[in-house]
A = this chain, B = another copy of it.
Amino acid sequence: MQVPNQLSAFIQEGDKWFLPSVSLDCVILGFHDNQLKVLLLKLKHSAVWALPGGFVLKEEDTETAAARVLKERTGLQDIFLQQFHVFGAPNRSDGSIHRKGFLKSGIEPSPDNFLFQRFISIGYYALVDFAHVTPFPDENSSECVWKDIHEIGSLMMDHNEILDKALETVRLQLNHQPIGYNLLPQKFTMPELQTLYETILDKQLDRRNFHRKMNAFGILKRLKETRKGGAHRAPFLYSFDMRKYQKALKQGLNGGW
């Protein structure tokens, strides 16, 4: 089954294709310039930024639906994708946003249009290699860009809450999920990994202790290459030893009991 590609198909036939009441929103995170980025888009005829979202096809798994939305916005497949929370407040979805969009497009929607109902939303976060992504808008959105997570203003509906919850979840799961692996390119330096940790934890870490502790986990392979070009001493490149990484994550990277 294919997703309808035309706006008009959405408008007139939403309830023909999709599961009612259920939507999903994706917090797509990348790491670039030593900063965490999130993919946002701006709906046509709307002034505010929003998380990319979508609906679940009638015969589709919710995870598959999230992967589909991710692919539509980034072109990426087989990406680390994780549901983290359901947002189920009765007044969270706001049909008036779509209503205005319709009117500005010169369309007169039916009062019981699919988009006007109440939706709960399943939040997913995705971790992607920034360099592999070219964000592009769809026919419903005018812009699709990476935004620094420290420069997010007011988002549509409850999307600020969704984003915050995603970041909180990533922080809590840092020792249990391969977060470094998914956000960094295959080869990376120790200072880059440290900055990633510092950004996620929003906390400064001691460079030398970080180095020692990371090596102690035994999850990194130090390559023979260094990253030249910076104005200073060239740091070694590392990559993850996935077998040991996965094994270590099961215990949690920091033990506990």
Residue positions of A touching B, CB distance < 8 A: 19-22, 56, 58-63, 83, 85-86, 88-90, 118, 120, 122, 172, 174-176, 197, 201, 203, 205, 252-257
Q: How far is the CB of A138 from chain B (nearest CB, A)?
A: 23
Taken together as a complex, chains A and B put the C-alpha atoms of A62 and B56 apart, in Å, by 19
Choose one: B88, B89, B201, B257; the contact of A197 (CB below 8 Å).
Answer: B257
Q: A20-B21, A21-B19 are in contact. Are A120 and B257 (CB under 8 A)?
A: no
Q: Beyond the given A59-B90, A197-B257, could you list 16 further A-B residue pairs with CB under 8 A, ordered by the A residue number?
A: A21-B21, A56-B88, A56-B120, A61-B88, A61-B90, A62-B88, A62-B89, A63-B88, A83-B85, A83-B86, A86-B86, A175-B257, A201-B257, A203-B257, A253-B256, A256-B256
Number of copies: 2
Q: Are B90 and A60 in contact, CB atoms less than 8 angstroms apart?
A: yes
Closest to A198 in B: B257
Dominant secondary structure of chain A at its interface with chain B: loop
- The answer to whether A122 touches B86, judged by C-beta atoms less than 8 angstroms apart, is yes
Give A55 Cβ to nearest chain B Cβ, in Å: 11
Contacts of A60 in B (CB 8 A): 90
- For residue A172, which residue of chain B has the nearest CB? B176
Q: Which residues of B contact A255 (CB under 8 A)?
A: 254
A-B contact pairs, 30 of them (CB 8 A): A19-B21, A19-B120, A20-B21, A21-B22, A22-B22, A56-B88, A56-B120, A58-B90, A58-B118, A59-B90, A60-B90, A61-B88, A61-B90, A62-B86, A62-B88, A62-B120, A83-B85, A83-B86, A86-B86, A88-B122, A174-B257, A175-B257, A203-B257, A205-B257, A252-B256, A253-B256, A254-B254, A254-B255, A254-B256, A254-B257
**Cα-based distance from A91 to B255 in the complex (angstroms):** 38
Is A22's CB under 8 angstroms from B253's CB?
no
Shortest CB distance A90–B (Å)? 5
* Residues of B with C-beta under 8 A to A19: 21, 118, 120
| Bound Cα distance A58, B201 (Å) | 38
